[in-house]
Amino acid sequence: MVISPLSEDDTRKLGATLAIATPVILIKELFENALDSGATTVVVLISPNTVDRIEVRDNGHGIDPSDFDALGRSGYTSKLKSLHELATVGARSLGFRGVALASINTLAEVTITTRTSSQPVAEVLRLVDGGGIVKEGRAGNPVGTAVCANNLFANFPVRQRSVIKEAHKNLAKIKELLQAYTFARSGTKVAFRVFGKPESTWCYTAQTGGGVKEAARQLFGHDVASRCSLKTYSADIKEPREQEKTGAGKSLSFEGFLPHAGADPQKIAGAFFSVDSRPLSPIRGTGKKLLSVFRAHYNQFPPGTKEEKATKGILIRLNIVCPPGSYDVNVEPAKDDVIFVDEEWVIGHFKQYLLSVYPRKEDDYENEGGRGYTTAGLETPPASSSGPKDTCKPIQDGLWICLDLLTAPARTKTATVATSIQQSSPIIPRVGTRFPRASMRSHHWKG
């Protein structure tokens, strides 16, 4: 079989269907472009079948006329000058690859209406095949940009039929996507409309000083929002090893809007994780790991009141503010995952953050019949929340069992437990591993 090159047009089309696989991804890319342009209001409009017309309007700074010819060309971007900037681009920009608009231009008919603050009127541009524009005229639009994609997947009939068949599901996913960005960027007003279906209209109105709490109230109602509290936590990076891995002289911060203890952790109304205000998928990668750690810790608490257990669902919102260069953002085509340089360090401090939000109580301990817990992922143990430091027994590097001991025999028994674990198989108990003891009390320490 002879190896021969594909035409440039075929190569571009094959790559475009991977970059923009669904209308959801198309809207995600245009929405991110709007946020990167400094928009404080973004409106998403879509036809009921999700392919005839998709439009995203924003009030950002618009596109300068000097950049018109670069529009729709693969590899052209204002977000990244070279690959060396990739390590730090995550905190500055949601987009960086320079392929989204070019891919959309390959899969649909694209018209852009844009105006900068220095222009008296807006320019109407039609993207041409392969990139570049043809001016279609002028319009009286305000400052900002509107990108309209018509006849999506027209050249891929099988894909288009499949997308139309899944239109209802995709519309629901688009709404979930916009909710994730609302929590990550709660200062941005967002509107979603389906042409011809006013009942499908959804809107979030950002309010001065409202923040995440107001976003939760508008998206999930007062009942769910009132059962959550804002909690923050910072970890300074001091050790030389950590400075080298995570960024010298910097700190890691967790900004959470977390449920009160006592609700059913299986009833999650929404789980929203982000890194530097970049939404992460909660069903894979880093977002999935964070959700798993949260559940493991939250499950340690006994059921709350009947009212707390009956709540319709709990809400989890967490944004991690990271030092520059501490993670890789170029992981997934959808850009909804990251890889930390030192994931163990980040997860360890997330556990410590949860311990500060949900400290153990003696009454909780007694209700659970006297069970101890291990804590992993931290270099050294702080003092126990009640009792001397020597109640934190080392099991292995980064792993401690933290106990308050009532009697001398109990102290001996605990030391034996720690020693046996340390000298046994390389299997390390994870956070939440329980050791039955009839005569001991356990307390999580606060970070």
Model confidence at 417, pLDDT cuts 50, 70, 90, reads very low
pLDDT > 90 in the chain, percent: 54
List pLDDT tens digits, range 362-387.
544 444 443 444 444 444 444 443 43
Checking if the pLDDT of 433 tops 90, the result is no
The three-state secondary structure class of 410 is helix
Measured from the Cβ of residue 240, the count of other Cβ atoms closer than 10 Å reads: 9
Helices 23-36 and 100-107, axial angle in degrees (round to 10): 140
Over the stretch 84-110, which tens digit does the pLDDT of each residue have? Answer: 788 878 778 888 888 999 999 999 999
Q: Which residue has the higher pLDDT, 354 or 401?
A: 354
Reference 104, options 27, 8, 159, 39; nearest CA is 27
Task: Please give the model's pTM, rounded to 2 decimal places.
Answer: 0.77
| pLDDT confidence band for 348 (50 / 70 / 90) | very high
pLDDT band at residue 169 under the 50/70/90 scheme: very high
pLDDT of residue 368: 43
Average pLDDT over residues 78-87: 80
Average pLDDT, the chain: 80
Q: What is the pLDDT of residues 201-217, one digit of tens each?
A: 999 998 888 899 999 99
Q: Is 196 exposed, middle or buried (0-12, 13-18, 19+ CB in 10 A)?
A: exposed
* CATH fold of the domain at 8-206: Heat Shock Protein 90 (3.30.565)
C-alpha pair distances (Å), 423 with each of 276, 373, 412: 41, 19, 17
Burial class (CB in 10 A: 0-12, 13-18, 19+), 108: buried
- What the block records as the tokens of 309 is 């257990």
In a 3-state reduction of DSSP, which class is residue 314? strand
Q: In the chain, which residues fall in CATH 3.30.565.10?
A: 8-206
* Per-position DSSP letters for 156-184, written without gaps between them: -HHHHHHHHHTHHHHHHHHHHHHHHHHHH
Could you tell me the two tokens for 168? 């209802």
Which three-class secondary structure state does DSSP give residue 107? helix
pLDDT, greater one: 165 or 10: 165
Report the pLDDT value the prediction gives residue 261, as an integer from 0 to 100: 82
Domain with CATH 3.30.230.10 in the chain: 218-358
Lowest-pLDDT range, 50-64, 166-180, 235-249? 235-249
pLDDT grade, residue 304 (50/70/90)?
low
Q: What is the pLDDT of residues 335-344, one digit of tens each?
A: 999 999 999 9
- Does the structure show a pLDDT above 80 at 192? yes
CA distance linking residue 131 with residue 74, whole number of Å: 8
User: Helix (H, G, I), strand (E, B), or coil: what is residue 45?
Assistant: strand
Residues with Cβ < 8 Å from 145, sequence gap 6 or more? 33, 34, 37, 57, 58, 60, 62, 63, 112, 113, 114, 115
Residue whose structure tokens are 């556990």: 351
Q: How many other CB atoms are there within 10 angstroms of residue 55's CB atom?
A: 20
- Residue 185 in this model has a pLDDT that exceeds 90: yes
Tally Cβ neighbours within 10 Å of residue 134. Answer: 9
Tens digits of residue pLDDT in 109-157: 999 999 999 999 999 999 998 899 999 999 999 999 999 999 999 999 9
* Tokens read off for 87: 């390590």
Question: What is the rounded average pLDDT of the residues 62-69?
Answer: 96
- Are 251 and 296 in contact by the 8 Å Cβ rule? The answer is no
Pick the more confident residue, 271 or 438: 271
**Which of 2.130.10.30, 3.30.497.10, 3.30.230.10, 2.40.40.20 is the CATH number of 218-358?**
3.30.230.10
Over range 67-96, report the average pLDDT: 85
Whether residue 447 is predicted with pLDDT greater than 50 in this model: the reply is: no
Distance CA 77, CA 98 (A): 5
Task: Give the model's pLDDT for residue 333.
Answer: 85
Task: For residue 430, give the nearest of 440, 421, 439 by alpha carbon.
Answer: 421
Assigned token pair, 360: 């153990």
Question: Could you tell me the pLDDT band of residue 416, with boundaries at 50, 70 and 90?
Answer: very low
At 12, the amino acid letter reads: R
